[in-house]
Chain A
Amino acid sequence: MSGTRSLDSAEALTVVRESITAVVPDADFTRVRPHDRFRDVLELDSLDFLSLVEILSEQAGVPIDEDDYPRLTTLADSVEFLVERTKQYEQSRR
């Protein structure tokens, strides 16, 4: 988590997508609209989701708790969450 810096929404979206792609290599994002539950659309099971959380946390450099899971439901939510969380962490590190 040493590399934490705040992400803008574009970067956050990239992180989310790359993380999902790492878990579901052939994820077809054309099927996922911003407010779709991507877990359902892309058929992520709980193990996949845990992997996603792991990768997201790693990539963004912020902790993600189980309590945060509901905020990782759609792409839009996830981006919002990451932007907010990375910002908090950047500020808290100063």
Chain B
Amino acid sequence: MAEFTMPSLGADMDEGVLQEWLVAPGDRVGKGDAVAVVETDKAAIEVECFTSGTVGRLLVEPGTRVPVGTPLALIDTAQAPAAQAAEKPTAEARAPGARTTRTRGTGGAGAARKGRAETPAGRAAVHARVRAPKAAAVPEGLPAPEPTEKAAPPPPSAPPSPPPAPAPPSPPSAAGEPAAAVGPLVRHLADGLGVDLGSVHGSGPGGRVTRADVAQAARPAPARRRVTPYARRLARDLGVDLEGVHGTGDGGAVRAADVRAAARAAQAAPERSRPAVPVRARDGGHVPAAEAAAVSGEGARDDGRQREDAMRRAIGELMSRSKREIPHYYLSTVIDLAPAQEWMHRRNRGRPPSARLVTAALLLKAAALAAREVPQLNGHWQDGAFTPGTGVHLGVAVSLRGGGLLTPVIHDADTLTPEDLMATLKDLVRRARQGRLRGSELSGATLTVTSLGEQGVEAVFGVIHPPQVALVGFGAVVERPWAVGGLLGVHPVVTATLSGDHRATDGAIGARYLTAVDRLLHEPGDMPGSTIEERE
């Protein structure tokens, strides 16, 4: 006995419809004889058999769609007459031209459904996909579902059998839901939250849907921030929380620059109201330069942060003490810088940049000379009394790029020529920022000068560094209308301020000091140490 199977009739053929039998059981067939018509998606084709013999049972009735390889008929190769058992398909079943799978439904609805076919008893031998068993447990009496799977037709030899009990589906509301795995409480919760249980992934034992699952499903997904991938990576690396980062990119997207800015802001935030104070450690001593230096190396980031924290604590303590102990008074005056700058430009002209002065050097020089003239502001308040300084040792507040500040000291600043003062200033600032200051260079200041004006503000009223008794502030050099001798012109001007310790001096002393600064800056060439070169 050989099987005649659904042939593969083309590269794209996986199944075909047996359209018509060209032979009947008992017919003699030879190799190459056409025995059936098979309909593919492209055409109806007469197919041949490859064995000679007698046609036995026909296993598939016309109109049936079966996969390639499905036995369609048996061919007895033993030269014997066809087996009587082989029964032709019924006339009904052989209705020619049927293009779709035949249906024999239980009712009108069923019969009309395309692709529906019975699965009679004894179909085990046929290639049939089996319906999923899940429907079996559901109550009877509901409309038959429309099966989507293809069922094999009955073998022609099998007696017609009543249709099997239809397998009704679960109630629609529970479709796709593991009925046994949802408790009433959870169901109630889901109803209340408007959650479709069918879409909830159960995380409980055996895939049980838990209340947490429902709650999770109900929670609206947080609006996703627009963050570039690189910015996201950078934020992770720098420990920046993207929540608070303002995005400047397209559509508010957070870009790498925004993350960096946020990282800097996080570092700089505590020093927004930067006081002009020298840094001291908690024991009252100065913060060692090496420790206080801003650390920018990647690997030392944590160390650097700790040091910054220590510096902030030190500044905080010192300033608190200052504000707690020192009754401050504040003075300010606007000084015309035209003569000083004119003098400086003349002096700088033709010099290489390395030999040039900056305005700050003149301001420091004036501040130092004025302190010599008004010594009541130059010294320390110790043990309830003022002790004048032994020289004018000018503390210069230097802000560090990584945050924080240091106040290196220019000793005997009043005696230095502008050039020397400039050189010293450059050296100290450079080394302060490199973390290369020596301890002695951080101690012994008798008066501190801060010049936040470099950052663009017009006036700074600083907090005195105990035990000093005054602090001089210079704002930005700005151009302003200015009258000289009854004539109005545009002049560069600077606002000089003085914070004084009311325990040591009164405002009048302070006023005298600022007046001296003003005068000195009006005659820069007359400042000691300035005249020699001027005369060349």
Contacts and interface: CB of A to CB of B under 8 A. Distances in A.
Contacts of B208: none
B191 to A, nearest CB: 52
Given A30-B257, A40-B456, A47 B349 contact: no
B454 interface: yes
A81 B190 CA distance: 70
Main secondary structure, interface of B, reads: helix
A66 B260 contact: no
Interface in B229-287: 256-257, 260-261, 264
Contacts of A50: 353, 356, 358, 426
Contacts of A28: 257, 260, 264
Interface in A1-38: 24-26, 28, 30-31
A92 interface: no
Interface centre among B256, B454, B456 (most CB of A within 10 A): B454
B352 interface: yes
A69 to B, nearest CB: 10
A31 B257 contact: yes
B454 A66 contact: no
B353 A30 contact: no
Interface string B445-479: 00000000011100000000000000000000000
A47 B353 CA distance: 11
Contact of A31 (B261, B425, B429): B261
Given A25-B296, A46-B358, A46-B359, A66 B349 contact: yes
A30 B399 CA distance: 22
Nearest to A53: B353
Contacts of A25: 296
A54 B454 contact: no
Contacts of A51: 353, 426
B348 interface: yes
A43 B356 contact: no
Given A45-B454, A47-B425, A54-B352, A26 B296 contact: yes
Nearest to B454: A45
A57 interface: yes
A64 B425 CA distance: 22
Contacts of A53: 353
Contacts of B402: 26
Contacts of B429: 47
Given A30-B257, A31-B257, A53-B353, A47 B426 contact: yes
Contacts of A45: 360, 454-455
Given A43-B455, A46-B360, A65-B349, A54 B354 contact: yes
A43 B268 CA distance: 13
A28 B238 CA distance: 14
A43 to B, nearest CB: 7
B456 A66 contact: no
B480 interface: no
A66 B352 contact: no
Contacts of A40: 456
B401 A24 contact: yes
Interface in B385-438: 399, 401-402, 425-426, 429
Given A28-B260, A30-B256, A66-B345, A43 B401 contact: yes
B53 to A, nearest CB: 84
B362 to A, nearest CB: 11
A72 B456 CA distance: 17
Nearest to A26: B296
B356 A66 contact: yes
A26 B358 contact: no
B353 A31 contact: no
Nearest to B428: A47
Nearest to A31: B257
A54 B353 contact: yes
A28 B265 CA distance: 14
A38 B426 CA distance: 21
Contacts of A47: 358, 360, 425-426, 429
A63 B360 CA distance: 23
A50 B353 CA distance: 7
B268 to A, nearest CB: 10
Interface in A38-80: 40, 43, 45-47, 50-51, 53-54, 57, 63-66
Contacts of A63: 352
A92 to B, nearest CB: 17
Interface string B288-310: 00000000100000000000000
A51 B433 CA distance: 14
A50 B434 CA distance: 17
Contacts of B456: 40
Given A43-B399, A53-B353, 13 more contacts: A25-B296, A28-B257, A28-B264, A30-B260, A31-B257, A31-B260, A45-B454, A45-B455, A47-B425, A47-B426, A51-B426, A57-B353, A66-B356
Interface of A: 24-26, 28, 30-31, 40, 43, 45-47, 50-51, 53-54, 57, 63-66
7 contacts: A26-B296, A43-B399, A43-B401, A43-B455, A45-B455, A47-B358, A50-B353
